[in-house]
């Protein structure tokens, strides 16, 4: 029996690799000779670096960068097994969790550190970048990242603008002539699973600003500043970014990456499945096991289990999904390609206990899956 185990992480409980390993241990309690390939997965958000580094035999690197408030920190990114592809989670340098709640302020928070991570990847010879958006503390439209890569953002009197979303109000000129020339020979793919535009009621400031510490008054200012920013980009860089679906993600970082480093937006799970060559791994197997912390109504919108199931369905391979919890209408998940679902919780327990015991519970679920399959084999 050939099996691919391709789960996402159970956030806060187990990494994607730990989930895959635990499932394999349980499955082999019944099918000890099964040929199992572990393919840790992610959807472009948290855990993407670890999953892709593990799946491709890559390595992690660290760099000294600025956090959203300009303090020096050490952030990690990955270089994949091919040696030329870097995978970066913007939250590693510019994430909300890097700032204590009382200090969160998108008026001053900057993506400069994300630009520094990109610079470090270029310094290590990477000429393909996979960048995951999400979890940002910022609303500067990626201006900070562009500045870290050599762009000059000037006020009317020729001075550098202030950092963060507030500085965009004084932006009079963008000069990209001194940007790192290696960008022109680098492919950049950005994982984005939202369709928010840059500005307006569904834009970066209105939808995501409040969770980053923005008051209603700040939201209005940030939105106006991003609108002004987009107009200067169009005039000085020749890119129209305002209405592109998804550019409002990560405080408008998507817009900045498109404008300044020619990035292309892509579904996060699609980016990951292509990178780990999941089609090649799945096409000739007998079974796929995937999963995530919770299977619910959000799963069908680009989450890992559905991305895996879509590929498996192309080849008629059944897919079993495990989860810490299953909510909502299972019919939607079945229609999307999931063949069966298994909850890892064998009896009532508190959430904190389930999270602490996630790895053994996942292993036990792997064994239950294998025992059910053995019954099916016997009946057939």
At residue 380, does pLDDT exceed 80? no
Q: What is the pLDDT of residues 249-294, one digit of tens each?
A: 999 999 999 999 999 999 999 999 999 999 999 999 999 999 999 9
Considering the domain architecture, whether residues 119 and 214 belong to the same structural domain is answered as: yes
Number of separate domains in the chain: 2
pLDDT at site 297: 79
Residue with tokens 């970082």: 253
Domain boundary among 215, 237, 268: 268
Considering the domain architecture, whether residues 182 and 221 belong to the same structural domain is answered as: yes
User: If you average pLDDT over residues 215-220, what whole number do you get?
Assistant: 97
Considering the domain architecture, whether residues 288 and 206 belong to the same structural domain is answered as: no
Can you give the residue range of the structural domain that contains 237? 48-268
- CATH number, domain of 186, equals 3.90.1510.10
- CATH number, domain of 338, equals 3.40.50.10350
Considering the domain architecture, whether residues 335 and 246 belong to the same structural domain is answered as: no
146 within some domain? yes
> Strands (DSSP E) along the chain, which ranges?
2-5, 35-38, 59-66, 72-79, 85-89, 128-132, 152-154, 173-175, 187-191, 264-266, 287-295, 319-326, 340-343
Considering the domain architecture, whether residues 294 and 320 belong to the same structural domain is answered as: yes
Domain boundary among 249, 268, 287: 268
Domain boundary among 268, 298, 313: 268
For 144, how many CA atoms within 13 A lie in the half-sphere containing its CB? 35
Considering the domain architecture, whether residues 26 and 55 belong to the same structural domain is answered as: no
The model's confidence at residue 30, banded by pLDDT at 50, 70 and 90, is very high
Considering the domain architecture, whether residues 213 and 231 belong to the same structural domain is answered as: yes
Structure tokens at 88: 């970066």
273 within some domain? no
Q: Tell me the pTM.
A: 0.89
Considering the domain architecture, whether residues 160 and 282 belong to the same structural domain is answered as: no
What mean pLDDT is reported for the chain?
95
**Residue 259 CB contacts under 8 Å (≥ 6 apart), including other chains:** 142, 146, 233, 237, 239, 241
Considering the domain architecture, whether residues 259 and 288 belong to the same structural domain is answered as: no
Considering the domain architecture, whether residues 203 and 85 belong to the same structural domain is answered as: yes
User: If you average pLDDT over residues 86-96, what whole number do you get?
Assistant: 97
pLDDT at site 301: 77
User: If you average pLDDT over residues 100-115, what whole number do you get?
Assistant: 97
pLDDT at site 35: 97
Structure tokens at 206: 């209105």
Q: What is the C-alpha radius of gyration for the chain, rounded to an integer number of angstroms? A: 22
Distance, CA of 362 to CA of 269 (rounded, Å): 22
Class of residue 297 by CB neighbours under 10 A (exposed 0-12, middle 13-18, buried 19+):
exposed
Considering the domain architecture, whether residues 27 and 134 belong to the same structural domain is answered as: no
Residue with tokens 């510490």: 213
344 within some domain? yes
117 within some domain? yes
């Amino acid at each position: 029996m050939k099996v691919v185990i391709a789960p996402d992480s159970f956030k806060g409980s187990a990494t994607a690799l730990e989930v895959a390993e635990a499932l394999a241990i349980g499955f082999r309690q019944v099918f000890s000779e099964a040929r199992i390939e572990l393919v840790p997965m992610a959807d472009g958000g948290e855990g993407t670096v670890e999953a892709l580094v593990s799946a491709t035999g890559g390595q992690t690197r660290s760099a000294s960068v600025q956090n959203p408030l300009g303090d020096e920190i050490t952030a990690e990114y990955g270089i994949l097994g091919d040696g030329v592809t870097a995978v970066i989670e913007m939250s590693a340098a510019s994430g909300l969790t890097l700032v204590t709640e009382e200090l969160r302020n998108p008026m001053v928070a900057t993506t400069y550190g994300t630009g520094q991570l990109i610079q470090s990847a270029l310094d290590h010879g990477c000429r393909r970048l996979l960048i995951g958006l999400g979890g940002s503390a910022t609303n500067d439209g990626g201006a900070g990242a562009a500045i870290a890569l050599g762009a000059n953002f000037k006020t009317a009197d020729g001075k550098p603008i202030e950092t963060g979303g507030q500085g965009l109000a004084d932006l009079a000129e963008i000069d990209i002539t001194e940007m790192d020339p290696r960008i022109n020979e680098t492919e950049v793919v950005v994982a984005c699973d939202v369709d928010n535009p840059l500005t307006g009621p569904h834009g970066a400031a209105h939808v995501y600003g409040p969770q980053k510490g923005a008051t209603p008054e700040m939201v209005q200012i940030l939105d106006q500043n991003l609108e002004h920013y987009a107009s200067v980009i169009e005039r000085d860089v020749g890119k129209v970014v305002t209405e592109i679906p998804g550019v409002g993600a990560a405080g408008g970082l998507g817009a900045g990456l498109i404008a300044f480093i020619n990035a292309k937006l892509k579904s996060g799970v699609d980016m990951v499945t292509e990178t780990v060559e999941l089609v090649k791994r799945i096409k000739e197997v007998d079974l796929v096991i995937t999963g995530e912390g919770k299977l619910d109504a959000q799963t069908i919108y680009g989450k890992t289990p559905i991305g895996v199931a879509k590929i498996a369905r192309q080849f008629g391979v059944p897919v079993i999904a495990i989860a810490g919890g299953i909510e909502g209408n299972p019919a939607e998940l079945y229609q999307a390609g999931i063949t069966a679902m298994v909850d890892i919780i064998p009896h009532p327990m508190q959430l904190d206990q389930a999270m602490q015991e996630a790895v053994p519970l996942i292993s036990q679920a792997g064994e239950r899956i294998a025992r059910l399959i053995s019954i099916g084999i016997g009946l057939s």
